[in-house]
Amino acid sequence: MKKKEGLGCLCGKVAKPTKLKFKRYVLDGWKCDNCGEEYLDPLQAERILVANKLKHQKFHAKLGRIKSNLIVRIPKVMEQALGLKQGEKVTLKIKGKSIEITP
């Protein structure tokens, strides 16, 4: 999605790229100076909605092994909700008996 260009507004004018508040987040979007209509980047908004939904959901994963390391598979929905990429570095931290993974 191109973010630098204007977006045709319902009122017939062109909405300009800007940052918009959505829940507790700031997203890319467009705002029309003429009618005040705001448009959120649909991909970013969708990602936040999915991430919020997943907060209350538990996933079970099986530990695997590659050579000497244990591996855990991250479900696709979590990958997409957080925009994780293969090869991306994450931080692991032990919290009590849990492991916290931070992108």
CB 80 within 8 A of CB 50: yes
Kindly report the number of other CB atoms within 10 A of residue 38's CB atom. Answer: 15
CB 99 within 8 A of CB 92: yes
Q: Which is nearer to Zn ion, 41 or 81 (CB)?
A: 41
Tell me if 29 contacts Zn ion by CB under 5 A.
no
What's the farthest any 2 CA atoms get from each other in the chain? 61
Minimum gap (Å) between residue 10 Cβ and Zn ion: 6
Tell me if 79 contacts Zn ion by CB under 5 A.
no
Tell me if 38 contacts Zn ion by CB under 5 A.
no
Tell me if 27 contacts Zn ion by CB under 5 A.
no
Among 35, 74, 90, 99, binds Zn ion (CB under 5 A): 35
Please report where in the chains the tokens 């907060």 appear, as a residue.
Answer: 55
Q: Which is nearer to Zn ion, 32 or 81 (CB)?
A: 32
Distance CA 77, CA 34 (A): 38
Tell me if 49 contacts Zn ion by CB under 5 A.
no
Q: Which is nearer to Zn ion, 8 or 83 (CB)?
A: 8
